[in-house]
Copies of this chain bind each other. A is one copy, B any other.
Amino acid sequence: MSPIELNKRQDAILQIVKENGPITGEQIAERLHLTRATLRPDLAILTMAGFLDARPRVGYFYAGKKNTVSLTESMMNLKVKDFQSMPVIVSENMTVYDAILHIFLEDVGTLFVADKDNHLQGVLSRKDLLRTSIGSQDLNKIPVNIIMTRMPNISYCSKKDSLILAANKLIEHEIDSLPVVEETEEGLEIVGRLTKTNITKAFISLAETHDL
């Protein structure tokens, strides 16, 4: 994702909204031949920067450039849901050896461990796996639930949290990834993954917004 491409995409979105607003995210995505998920960060940044306004069940419309609000106030409007990635979930009985293969196969830094109802049971980082891999045990015989981080030691966030709150959790707890969860009576349902990569992308998007 280079800066130039992203700016072009933001430009294209603005043009579509100017000509067709109010228009839903789905409809914008369709016109650009992209998925709604791909457009989320751009729409969030454009809304934050005051170029677009969004009304529930109506869609996006062009707002021009609003009176400047403070950067922090604007940044508080960047939400986890607009920047999160897909979670990669494994079961508690997977062996550590298979988990290591899985983390490479999926090319992520963290696996989440869930029960059969998709409720969060644990977190496995690349660091946890590396630590175990140099131990003397047979990696094919240890299930991940022996080495994973468990509640109440797991930091997590929700889709509606501000990206800044999530970034603070990543720094304070010195971790690379947070599960994004929905709290239900049965437990914490895993709905996403929020990483320092997501924050780094948001940082870049912020810087690119002025070129509009």
A residues near B (Cβ < 8 Å) are 1-3, 68, 70-73, 75-76, 97, 100-101, 103-104, 109, 126-127, 129-131, 133-134, 139, 163-164, 167-168, 170-172, 176, 196-197, 199-204, 206-211
Q: Which chain B positions have C-beta within 8 A of A71? A: 71, 206-207, 209-210
Q: Which chain B positions have C-beta within 8 A of A172? A: 1-2
Q: Which of B133, B164, B176, B208 contacts A130 (CB 8 A)?
A: B133
18 contacts between A and B (CB under 8 A): A3-B168, A71-B206, A72-B209, A100-B130, A101-B134, A104-B127, A104-B131, A109-B176, A130-B133, A133-B134, A134-B139, A167-B203, A168-B204, A171-B200, A171-B201, A199-B199, A203-B203, A206-B206
The interface residues of chain A, by DSSP majority, are classed as: helix
Q: Which chain B positions have C-beta within 8 A of A131? A: 104
Copies in the complex: 2
Q: Which of B76, B164, B171, B202 contacts A1 (CB 8 A)?
A: B171
Using A134-B100, A200-B196 as known contacts, say yes or no to A207 and B72 having CB atoms under 8 A apart.
yes
Q: Which chain B positions have C-beta within 8 A of A3? A: 168
List 15 additional A-B contacts (Cβ < 8 Å) besides A70-B210, A72-B211.
A1-B171, A68-B68, A71-B210, A72-B208, A72-B210, A97-B134, A100-B130, A100-B134, A103-B130, A126-B126, A130-B130, A164-B203, A167-B200, A168-B204, A171-B201
Q: Which of B109, B163, B171 contacts A197 (CB 8 A)?
A: B171
Among A172, A199, A200, A209, chain B packs the most CB atoms within 10 A around the CB of A200
Q: Which chain B positions have C-beta within 8 A of A103? A: 130
| Closest B residue by C-beta to A49 | B71
Minimal beta-carbon separation of A144 from chain B (angstroms): 14
Contact assessment for A130 and B139 in the assembled complex, using a CB-CB cutoff below 8 Å: no
| Closest B residue by C-beta to A100 | B134
Q: Which chain B positions have C-beta within 8 A of A196? A: 176, 196-197, 199-200
